[in-house]
């Protein structure tokens, strides 16, 4: 194998690792968002956990975050608007990445 091949392989491995970490961080963010929204709706315990799982699953409907925003905004109604939810998602993504890095 040449040096070029080694570098190419290293970049491919890094890309795959970064994509996996992003996926995990986004899923964790969505779970945290679900728990936050559940608390706003007065859900606790198993009900809150079940709702958080629903939020995580809602992210698989389409690319991007709008499917999650739409779900949570619809469930929260007047409690929080879409912009508030997007802001909370940005905050929670930082928290989720930190949690994942601390696990490794």
Q: What is the CATH number of the domain that holds 58?
A: 1.10.790.20
Rg, the chain, Cα only: 17
If one compares 13 and 25, the residue with the highest pLDDT of the two is 25
Total domains in the chain come to 1
Q: Flag whether 13 is in a domain.
A: no
Rounded to the nearest 5 degrees, what angle is found at the Cα of 32, between the Cα atoms of 65 and 57? 50
Q: Flag whether 21 is in a domain.
A: no
Whole-prediction pTM value?
A: 0.85
81-88 average pLDDT score: 96
Q: Flag whether 34 is in a domain.
A: yes
Tens-digit pLDDT profile for residues 20-42? 888 899 999 999 999 999 999 99
Q: How remote is the C-alpha of 44 from its chain's centroid?
A: 20
Residues 22 and 38: their CA atoms lie apart, in Å, by 24
Residues 92 and 26: their CA atoms lie apart, in Å, by 9
Q: Flag whether 23 is in a domain.
A: no
Q: Flag whether 32 is in a domain.
A: yes
Q: Flag whether 22 is in a domain.
A: no
């Amino acid at each position: 194998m040449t040096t070029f091949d080694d570098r190419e392989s290293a970049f491919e491995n890094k890309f795959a690792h970064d994509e996996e970490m992003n996926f995990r961080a986004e899923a964790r963010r969505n779970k945290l968002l679900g728990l936050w929204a559940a608390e706003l709706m007065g859900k606790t315990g198993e009900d809150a956990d079940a709702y958080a799982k629903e939020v995580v699953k809602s992210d698989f409907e389409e690319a991007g975050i709008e499917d999650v925003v739409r779900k949570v905004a619809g469930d929260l109604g007047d409690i929080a608007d879409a912009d508030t939810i997007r802001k909370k998602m940005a905050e929670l993504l930082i928290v989720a990445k930190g949690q994942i890095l601390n696990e490794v």
